[in-house]
Amino acid sequence: MDALRVLFLGTGAGSLTERMGSAILLRLGDDYLLLDAGYGANVQLVRAGIDLCRIRAVLVTHHHIDHCGGLPSIFHDLKAHGCLEPLALYMPPEAAGPIEALIRTFGPSRPHPYTTNTVEPGQSFRAGPFEVRLLEAIHPLQTLSAEVRAKGFRLLYSSDTAPYPEFEKHAREADLCIHEATLPDHMEELGRRFGHSTVSQALRSCRSARRTALVHLTTLSEAQLSATALGEGLIVPRDLDELVLRKPGSSF
């Protein structure tokens, strides 16, 4: 069975960080799925040596710029590389208009062919071997969390959200739970107001998963994490870190 490779292209929040905007590439053999495309995503893809023409699907969880601002540059690069296959974009209905406008305004005058597919919580879509089921995150804009299944692997991605029970339920026994940790614990009230999670809330949401990765970090949440002993199964990835998931008994 193939290993599932998780490449953390961008692990930062919208401000207060040196990290790039949110973008995570899932790789299973020659099949790729991009979860969000924040600013700098195209640069990170080039730095990681990714063949852009193999990216056929992107899930944009919502239209805050740190999750979709890299799309116009990706479209420029797809054109420059001579890629031919259309790109499938998946997003919540509320995001479709702003993202279309973003691509028209800042992308190439004749963009690479693509389709806009709106998806809502409770719905699923398939991209190659990846089956993606959407959950409703808690954020000021309509935002999707995602459960991704592929070749026996199961992964949860929170996107931007305050903690909510359905996500925690789906995270049970997941091979990997990727959760935002925008704020330190003493700013929990701010998280409730703006739809974000603290470090401890993120850890609780993923506590039943086999492994946890904390993303969407700021210098504030990083300061708390730097003083925290990281337990087994918990990682705080830097930009361009790659995590390789293998099933027990795999020959890899």
pLDDT of amino acid 1: 52
Percent of all residues in the chain with a pLDDT value above 90, rounded to a whole number: 89
Structure-block tokens of residue 113 = 């062919």
Contact 137, 195 (CB under 8 A): yes
Give the neighbor-by-neighbor strand order of the sheet with 241-245.
Answer: 114-118, 87-91, 55-59, 31-35, 23-28, 4-10, 241-245
State the Cα–Cα distance between residues 6 and 57, nearest whole angstrom. 15
Q: What is the pTM of this model?
A: 0.95
The residue ranges of every structural domain in the chain are: 4-244
Closest CA to 89 of 55, 122, 131: 55
Contact 139, 162 (CB under 8 A): yes
Contact 63, 141 (CB under 8 A): yes
Binned at pLDDT 50, 70 and 90, residue 181 comes out as very high
* Phi then psi dihedrals of residue 143, to 5 deg: -135, 145
Least confident window among 28-42, 128-142, 184-198, 216-230: 216-230
Residue 55 has pLDDT above 50, yes or no: yes
Binned at pLDDT 50, 70 and 90, residue 226 comes out as confident
Closest CA to 74 of 114, 109, 37, 47: 37
Domain 4-244 sits in CATH at 3.60.15.10
Contact 156, 26 (CB under 8 A): no
Parallel, antiparallel, or unpaired for β 234-235 and 176-180?
Answer: unpaired
Burial class (CB in 10 A: 0-12, 13-18, 19+), 97: exposed
pLDDT of amino acid 248: 61
Closest CA to 58 of 85, 29, 80, 79: 85
State the Cα–Cα distance between residues 231 and 233, nearest whole angstrom. 6
Binned at pLDDT 50, 70 and 90, residue 249 comes out as very low
Residue 182 has pLDDT above 70, yes or no: yes
Residue 210 has pLDDT above 90, yes or no: yes
Helix axes 93-106, 71-80, angle to 10 degrees: 50
